[in-house]
Structure 1
Amino acid sequence: MRFSSGCNAGWLCLGLVTSLVAAQTAPSPHDQSPLATISAGASAAVVPPPPNYHFPDGQTYVYGIEWHLFNAGIARVSLQAEGPEQHVIATAVSAGVVNMLYKVNDRFEAFFDPHKFCSVRVSKHNEEGSRARQSELHFDYTRGKSVLEEKNLKTGEQKHVENDIPGCVTDVVSGFYYLASLPLQNGNVNAFPINDGGKTTEVTAHVEAREQVKVPAGTFQTVRVKVEPTSGALKGKGMVWAWFTDDASHTPVQMRSKLGWGTLLFRLQRVEKP
C-alpha cells in the first residue's frame, strides 16, 4: 500500500501518512462547527501552523505494531529542531512470526519548514523482504518539481525521477505531524497534497468523532480522524484511521490502516522525553 506512487510498501508509509482507528461513524449535526463548514469546501493545500504552535521537540513516540493480532514489530518516531528546519526520524523493525515471513528494517528522515510546513527533503533506507533501497528526495519549489534519486542496493540499479508539485507539499513522514497541528474539530475536513517522489496525491482527513481509547501507554480521550487518498491511482484503495489526544498536544496514540491484504494496528507504548 502506498499513499503516493514513490512510497514503498513499508509500515511507516502506512502508519505515518496519517492517522487512527475506530468505527466509521459520521458526526452528529450538533458536532458541526463553522470551521468544519469552511474547511469542507476548501481546496487541497498545506496550511501553516498557528503562530503560537509548539512542536513536540525532543519527544519520541514508540509504537507496537500488530497484524492480525500478531506482534509485527516496533515503530519509533521522533522530532527535533535542526537549524531553520524540523527534523523527523522514523524507524520500523519487524518482529516475531512476521519477521520470519517478511523482514522489515526501515529508516526515514524528513526535513520541513516549521513556519510553512512545506517539506524540504526526505531520506529513506528500506530493507523489506529481499529488497533494499536507498532514496533521496528533494523538493525544488523554484522549479515546481520533486526530484527523486533512488538506488537498488542489491543490484546497483539507479533511477532519477522528477514530478510536478504545487507550491507547498508535505510528505509521508512529516504528514504525521501536520495532522496533529490542525484544529481537529468535529466534522472538520482538511485536504492536502502529499508527495513521496511519485505523482502528488491529494489526501483528505475527516474528523469523525471523539472517544476514549486504551493503549499500553494509558487511557486517553481522543479525536478520531479518517484519512484517505482522494486522487490518483490510490483513490478508494485504502484508508487509515488515527486517534489524537483531545488536548493541545494532539499526541497520536493509535493508528489503524485498512488495506486489501489486511489491517495494521499501531498502538502507543510510551513517549520518551529528554
Structure 2
Amino acid sequence: MKTLFLLLASALPALADWKTEVTPAKLGPHPKLTPLAVEYRLTWNGMLNAGKLNFTFGAPDPKFPSDYNAKASGGSSGLASTLYKTKFTMMSRLDPATLRPRVAVGVADEGDEVNTTRTTWTGPLVKSEQTIRITKNGKSGTINSEFRFTPVHDIFSAMLHVRSQKLADGDKLVIPLQPFDKPYLMTVNVLGHEKFAGRDTIKMSVALQKIDPKTKALLPYKKMKSSTLWLSDDANRIPVELRSEVFIGDVRMTLSGTRKL
C-alpha cells in the first residue's frame, strides 16, 4: 500500500541541481478544497475491485481544532488480496493557513508485518520514527531517521498544493515529499486539458525519484516506471484517475464517489 501512496505522489534523468528547481511552498490561485470525502476503486492487472481507497479532507477533529485534518484508508480486496494482501490507514495534521504538514501517522498492515510510521515537521527538520512488528511472533523494532530540507511535503499537502496551482499546459512542478520514512522528489508536468471519463480534466505525468537524506543526491525509484494522472478541471480539482506501471504490474485508481463533509 506504500506503493499506492507513492503513485500519488519512473526514474528520470537527474536534475542538474534539483534544489534550485523546487516549486515554492506557496499556495497557488485556485481556491482551497472545501471539506470533502472522496472514494476510489483500484484495478490491478485488469482485475476489477482489486481494492479501495478513501480520503477525507478538512473534516473537523475536536482533538486537533487548530489543524487542517486529512485522512486516508484502504486496502486490497477479492482475488488481489490473496496475491498481495495489504491494508492501511493514514492521517495528517496540516497548518490550516499554509497547508504544510505538521504531523503524519501511517499504519500499513501487510499480513506478515505491521509498519507504523510517525513523521514530524519542525522548520527544516523532518523526523520519522518507524516501528515494524512481526505478526507471527510479536517482535518489533524501531528505526529513527532525519531529513534536513525545506520545503518538504507529506502526501496530503503535496496533493493540496498541486491542485492550488495555475496548472496551465506545459507547467512543471518539482516537489520534495516524505510520505513515510524516506524522502522523494516528485516531478509533475501538465500535459494538457482534455475530456476524460466524461469530465473536463487536466492531464499530468507524475514521476518520482528517491532523495538520499544525507547527500541529497537523486536516485532512481525502480518500483514505478511511469504514471499518468487526470485531475478534474473544476472547483474541486481531485484525481479522476491515476494509471501507473509499477513493480507489481498495472495499477489504476479511479474515482467512484464524493461526499461533502
Deviation at 1:236, TM superposition (A): 6.4
SS of 2:242's partner is: strand
User: 1:182-197 residue pairs with structure 2 within 5 A?
Assistant: 182-197=165-180
Distance in 2 (alpha carbons) for counterparts of 1:193 and 1:268: 26
- Is the 2:204–2:229 Cα contact (8 Å) retained in structure 1? yes
- Is the 2:68–2:99 Cα contact (8 Å) retained in structure 1? no
Q: Does 1:147 align with 2:128?
A: yes
| 1:84 aligns with one of 60, 63, 66 | 66
Q: If each structure's strand is expressed as a fraction of its own residues, which one has the higher value?
A: 2
Deviation at 1:235, TM superposition (A): 4.5
Unaligned runs of 5+ in 2: 10-17, 211-217
> What is residue 240 of structure 2 aligned with on the other side?
253
Percent identity reads: 18
> What is residue 42 of structure 2 aligned with on the other side?
65
Which one-letter code corresponds to 1:222 in the other structure?
Answer: T
- Is the 1:10–1:128 Cα contact (8 Å) retained in structure 2? no
Distance in 1 (alpha carbons) for counterparts of 2:256 and 2:85: 22
Q: Does 1:106 align with 2:88?
A: yes
Question: What does the per-residue CA deviation read over 1:6-35, in whole Å, with 9 as the maximum and x for residues that have no partner?
Answer: xxx535414432xxxxxxxxxxxxxxxxxx
> What is residue 220 of structure 2 aligned with on the other side?
234
Q: Report the TM-score when normalising by structure 1.
A: 0.77
Judged with a 3 Å threshold, the aligned counterparts in structure 2 of structure 1 residues 156 and 138 are, in CA distance, closer, same or farther, namely farther
SS of 2:219's partner is: coil
| 1:97 aligns with one of 79, 82, 87 | 79
Bigger relative contact order, structure 1 or 2 (CA pairs below 8 A, ≥6 apart)? 1
Deviation at 1:251, TM superposition (A): 2.1
SS of 1:92's partner is: strand
Q: Report the TM-score when normalising by structure 2.
A: 0.81
- Is the 1:134–1:153 Cα contact (8 Å) retained in structure 2? no
Distance in 2 (alpha carbons) for counterparts of 1:61 and 1:15: 17
Q: Does 1:118 align with 2:100?
A: yes
- Is the 1:64–1:269 Cα contact (8 Å) retained in structure 2? yes
> What is residue 220 of structure 1 aligned with on the other side?
199
Judged with a 3 Å threshold, the aligned counterparts in structure 2 of structure 1 residues 248 and 62 are, in CA distance, closer, same or farther, namely same
**C-alpha RMSD over aligned residues:** 2.5
Deviation at 1:95, TM superposition (A): 1.3
> What is residue 255 of structure 2 aligned with on the other side?
268
Deviation at 1:166, TM superposition (A): 1.6
Deviation at 1:89, TM superposition (A): 0.7
Judged with a 3 Å threshold, the aligned counterparts in structure 2 of structure 1 residues 150 and 41 are, in CA distance, closer, same or farther, namely closer
